Structure 1
Amino acid sequence: MKLILSWIINAVAVYATASFLDGIYVKSFWAALIVALILGLVNTIIKPILVFLSMPFIVLTLGLFLILINAFMLYIASQVVAGFALAGFWPAVIGSIFISVISWILSTLFNTK
């Protein structure tokens, strides 16, 4: 049950971020659900490899390089999902921050951690 709730929370975070930012486009809430699913898969499979390979940059930037890795994960999702688009690099960076913050707030409110 917590897995489904986390998936819905991430979809709401993606949809809300697209509503707030001009550079992110989500066609519908169903597309946001698919984006959340793809982000979950990408964050599970690809992100740990990128974090391991970029560990010197993460340490050097005191963790700020993780924001760029999250933006790249968002970019990958935009390439896979047809109803989801990013206008460029900065919308991906700001969008990844927004999605993380909104998802964290909602996960705290609904106690999914």
Structure 2
Amino acid sequence: MAKFIVRAIFAALGLWLAARLVPGVRVDDTGSLILAAVLLGIVNAFVRPVVFVLTLPVTVLTLGLFLLVVNAAMIGLVALVLAGFHVDGLLAGVLAAVVTGVVSWIGGMILRDDRG
């Protein structure tokens, strides 16, 4: 549970930064930002693996670049479900996915456990 909360915090930070940097991504308030981060975590845990398997041939053909579209689709799905989070189009979703992914990667590097 603690890992999920930490990941949600980094996702919220990434979504906030994406809303600040990427035209076409907007968050109405802090509550919507937190809820979007939690929903993104849930979507990434349950929906993304199914979509990943279904799009695996395209992902292989594009040498993994199609994963950017999959990640953008997950952010777009959250935007469809949550009224206070808005993503205008595929390009905004892809850029938001890149920003969120980089922030989450940096967060993982900071919090990495070196015992293993």
Q: What is the root-mean-square deviation of aligned Cα atoms in Å?
A: 1.6
Deviation of 1:112 (Å)? 7.0
Q: TM-score, normalized by length of structure 1?
A: 0.92
Describe the superposition over 1:80-112 as per-residue Cα deviations: whole angstroms up to 9, x where unpaired.
Answer: 111100111110111111110111112222337
Work out the number of aligned pairs and report it: 113
Q: Which residue of 2 is the match for residue 22 of structure 1?
A: 23
Return 5+ residue gaps in structure 1 as ranges. Answer: none
Using the alignment, how far apart are the partners of 1:78 and 1:72 within structure 2? Answer: 10
Cα separation, 2, equivalents of 1:20 and 1:112: 30
The structure 1 segments of at least 4 consecutive aligned residues displaced by more than 2 Å after TM superposition are 110-113
Q: Which residue number in structure 2 is paired with residue 58 of structure 1? A: 59
Amino acid at match of 1:75: G
Inter-partner Cα distance in structure 2 for 1:56 and 1:31: 35
With over 3 angstroms needed to count, the CA separation of the structure-2 counterparts of 1:2 and 1:29, relative to structure 1, is: same
What SS does the corresponding residue of 1:52 show, helix, strand or coil?
helix
Q: Compared with structure 1, are the counterparts of its residues 10 and 112 closer, same or farther at alpha carbon in structure 2 (3 Å cutoff)?
A: farther
Matches within 5 A, 1:26-37: 26-37=27-38
Partner of 2:89: 88
Aligned twin of 1:78: 79
For residues 8 and 50 of structure 1, what CA distance do their matches in structure 2 show? 24
* 1:25 partner SS: strand
Q: Aligned residues: percent identity?
A: 32
Deviation string 1:14-44 (CA, Å, 9 cap, x unpaired) is 1111011121001122211111111111111
